[in-house]
Structure 1
Amino acid sequence: MTMEAPLGSTAEAPQLRPLGVGDIIDRVLRMYRQRPVLFLTLSAIPNLIGVLIAQGARLVWPNAFLDFDQFAFLNDPNRMLAQLQAQQGRSGDTIVGLVSVIPQSLGIAALTYAAANMYLGRPVAIGAAFRAALADVPRLILTLFVLVIVLFGIWFAAIFVSTLPAVISGIGILIILVFFAVAVLPFFLLASFALVPTVSALEDAGPIHSMRRSLQLIAGSRWRIIGLLVLLLVLEIVLGVVLSTVFLGAFLTQSTAGRVAAVLVGAAGTIAWEPLPWATLALFYYDMRVRKEALDLQLAAEALPRTE
């Protein structure tokens, strides 16, 4: 899904400039308001596919999934342990989770494509976004798979390397410092590799290049990406509280209809929310390219009339 201007194009170059954290969020919300049907459709179709996969599998193979209702009113640890042992070996949730990565990757790529084109002032349609995203799905799945392995590998290696001297020495203050360092490391890794899916989608890049590129673009701006992620988290919490308040009765009902309503409300919240993080990361990606690679000047040069 490499973003290139069409050959022979003399369209006006997009007016790009460095953006602050608040500017990025404001621009994303403005884009969302301008094309709500576009973003909601690109989010809804992959998410509904995921819901159909999960709920359909539960209907067809109910005994393959953990029955969490059995734990709802168990206050006795022994009874809870007995229930866990009785349901041990049920792999349905794991299998559905792995299969659901496919529609999730489709949604990520489509939303990234749409946000990137809107930000660059290029036309974008729902069908075009999905067609471009379909070509990115296999590579994006591989990239996400490798990224998860690398992140957990780094984290566990850091835990082992840092805790071993502390345990051997037995120094209490050193153990406490190691604990805080290990707790902070995931946030550092998240900030460092936040642009990996975006780079993979927009630059048609594999896992290694995407991780290297994310590190390169985010270097020196980790606090900015952390600030963006915190703002997104606040927006997600607000949206969740609003939906929970409006549909509180559905969550409290133990009937089948109530459970279905709760699933639908959760899906609606996810559909409404999901465009925000991927559009934000797409704009942050271009903001970093403007700051570090003078992308605004490059696009302005490409927009000049071409002479033979």
Structure 2
Amino acid sequence: MNDTPGWASPGSSPSDGRDSGTPGPADAPDASSKWSKEQPPAGRWAPPTAQGGGPVPPAGGPGWGSGPQRGGWGQPPAAKPGVIPLRPLGVGEILDGAVSTLRAHWRTVLGITITVSVITQICDILIQRYLLPQPPATNPDASPEEALRQAMDQLNATVIGLAPVTAITLIATLFTTALLTVVISRSVLGRPVTLSEAWREARPRLLQLLGLTLLLPLIAAVVMTVGMLPGLLLGSGGGVALAVLGGFAGAVVTLWLMVQFALASPALMLERQGVIQSMRRSAKLVRGAWWRTFGILTLTLLLTFLVSMIIAIPFSLIAYAVDGDGISGLFSGSVPEFGWPFLIITGIGAVIASSITYPISAGVTVLLYVDQRIRREALDLELARAAGVPGYGSTSAGDDTSRS
């Protein structure tokens, strides 16, 4: 395994070629039944070092850690050098690990998310203020033909308005995913990381991550187009029904594919894989656990949405009160014209919400990836060695040389 901090090669669990003193699959009966058939050669994950050059001592004494035992009765509790115990994780432990990462590395995490969120919101405000066209006027007394034309004009205006916002969001997601993945991978080992270190490790992978970030929405758009195109070409009432049915089928396929590829970004960042290889890697890890992955991601999406709403609603009410006709304007039925105060106040709320929800979403994705590798490849053994936990062997170059 490459000794770059926070990195793990695919199939890095040491299933082959170890000496008798190194724990192996037999020490982890809950993962051996799902052991991956194709395992690359075992590599090295260098343990963290202290300032004096020696291994970092574990975070607790004998018996430290929490949760179910990895090896069953008679085995010590799972080691916990970082934010998660090194064993298969429950849903609550994945969410708690994401929040614990935010607490443990709050300077680095907030430095990343606040910087990206502020830049994103500034660009968004400028685009809304200067680049987006005014929404087309509607006539409530229009004929059916005119109403259809007005609806199409509104749809075009919405698409035009969403395009730059979507592009900014993709770029923001790119940087936050890259940097936070490095931070979270370090936090699993209980290792500190600065913003400059995270940037130095993530920067070589940004181009590949950009390709992945653009490819996944493209795949979704192609699937939806293929599903709806026959009905749109057919036209008439039957064509509309066929387009709706095809759109529903396309949405189902898109959802299945997006869950299959949900772990591609951590695989790309932490295993130094290419775009297509990371997608295949994600599909392999999700195989047999699609519903569990879907459930955890959906729960995370719901929680982050609720947090965003809890933060955004007060700022929106304040913005309505400061700008325009006040809160009473919400119930007037007219579309208010918002100025700089409204955009700035709501932008502040969006920055605060993003600074909290970005780390949670990224943390859940990375920890779900780690959990699947623990379950399928006994990655916990390799992580324990990398963290310098006693009883898991050594990953130093000298030991590897002496064994050979």
Give the TM-score normalised by the residue count of structure 2: 0.62
Quote the offset at 1:95 in angstroms. Answer: 4.8
Q: Which amino acid aligns with 2:113?
A: S
Contact persistence 1:192–1:214 (CA under 8 A):
yes
C-alpha offsets along residues 78-133 of structure 1, whole Å, 9 cap, x if unaligned? 59939948x97996863564366434311110111111110122221122112222
Contact persistence 1:65–1:90 (CA under 8 A):
no
- Equivalence for 2:61: none
Contact persistence 1:105–1:137 (CA under 8 A):
yes
Quote the offset at 1:273 in angstroms. Answer: 1.1
Aligned-partner Cα distance in 2 for 1:284–1:196: 11
Quote the offset at 1:139 in angstroms. Answer: 1.4
Alignment counterpart, residue 123 of structure 2, candidates 53, 68, 71: 53
Matches within 5 A, 1:103-114: 103-114=172-183
Aligned-partner Cα distance in 1 for 2:378–2:95: 22
Identity rate, percent: 27
Paired positions, count: 295
- Equivalence for 1:29: 99
Alignment counterpart, residue 6 of structure 1, candidates 46, 49, 57: 46
Cα–Cα, structure 1 residues 300 and 256, in superposed 2: closer, same or farther, change >3 Å? closer
Contact persistence 1:102–1:137 (CA under 8 A):
no
Cα–Cα, structure 1 residues 301 and 108, in superposed 2: closer, same or farther, change >3 Å? closer
Matches within 5 A, 1:105-124: 105-124=174-193
Contact persistence 1:196–1:214 (CA under 8 A):
yes
| Aligned partner of residue 274 in structure 1, secondary structure | helix
C-alpha offsets along residues 211-252 of structure 1, whole Å, 9 cap, x if unaligned? 101100111111111111222122123213322343222145
Alignment counterpart, residue 276 of structure 2, candidates 183, 208, 211: 208
Quote the offset at 1:201 in angstroms. Answer: 1.8
- Equivalence for 1:256: 340
Aligned-partner Cα distance in 2 for 1:155–1:251: 37
Q: Which amino acid aligns with 1:115?
A: I
Quote the offset at 1:265 in angstroms. Answer: 1.3
Alignment counterpart, residue 152 of structure 1, candidates 214, 221, 226: 221
Normalized per residue, the structure richer in helix is 1
Aligned-partner Cα distance in 2 for 1:230–1:90: 26
Of 106-115 and 5-14, more deviation after overlay is shown by: 5-14
Contact persistence 1:191–1:226 (CA under 8 A):
yes
Please state if 1:66 is matched with 2:150. no
Q: Structure 1 stretches of 5 or more lacking a match?
A: none
Of 103-112 and 181-190, more deviation after overlay is shown by: 181-190
Aligned-partner Cα distance in 2 for 1:275–1:55: 23
Aligned-partner Cα distance in 2 for 1:32–1:104: 17
Contact persistence 2:48–2:191 (CA under 8 A):
no
Q: Which amino acid aligns with 1:37?
A: R
Contact persistence 1:198–1:282 (CA under 8 A):
yes
Give the TM-score normalised by the residue count of structure 1: 0.79
Matches within 5 A, 1:82-161: 84=153, 94-95=163-164, 97-98=166-167, 101-157=170-226
Contact persistence 1:108–1:278 (CA under 8 A):
yes
Contact persistence 2:227–2:247 (CA under 8 A):
no
Aligned-partner Cα distance in 1 for 2:304–2:196: 27
Contact persistence 2:228–2:244 (CA under 8 A):
no
Aligned-partner Cα distance in 2 for 1:228–1:8: 30
C-alpha offsets along residues 247-282 of structure 1, whole Å, 9 cap, x if unaligned? 222145334312221122122212221111111001
Q: Which amino acid aligns with 2:381?
A: L
Give 1 or 2 for the bigger CA radius of gyration: 2
Of 35-44 and 91-100, more deviation after overlay is shown by: 91-100
Please state if 1:190 is matched with 2:258. yes
- Equivalence for 2:72: none
| Aligned partner of residue 288 in structure 2, secondary structure | coil
| Aligned partner of residue 46 in structure 2, secondary structure | coil
Cα–Cα, structure 1 residues 251 and 299, in superposed 2: closer, same or farther, change >3 Å? same
Alignment counterpart, residue 370 of structure 2, candidates 286, 298, 305: 286
Two-structure CA RMSD over aligned residues (Å): 3.8
C-alpha offsets along residues 27-47 of structure 1, whole Å, 9 cap, x if unaligned? 222222333332222111122
Aligned-partner Cα distance in 1 for 2:279–2:226: 18
Contact persistence 1:143–1:197 (CA under 8 A):
yes
- Equivalence for 1:40: 110
Contact persistence 1:47–1:103 (CA under 8 A):
yes
Quote the offset at 1:25 in angstroms. Answer: 0.9
Quote the offset at 1:193 in angstroms. Answer: 1.1
Q: Which has the higher contact order (CA 8 A, sep 6+)?
A: 1
Please state if 1:220 is matched with 2:224. no
Q: Which amino acid aligns with 2:124?
A: A
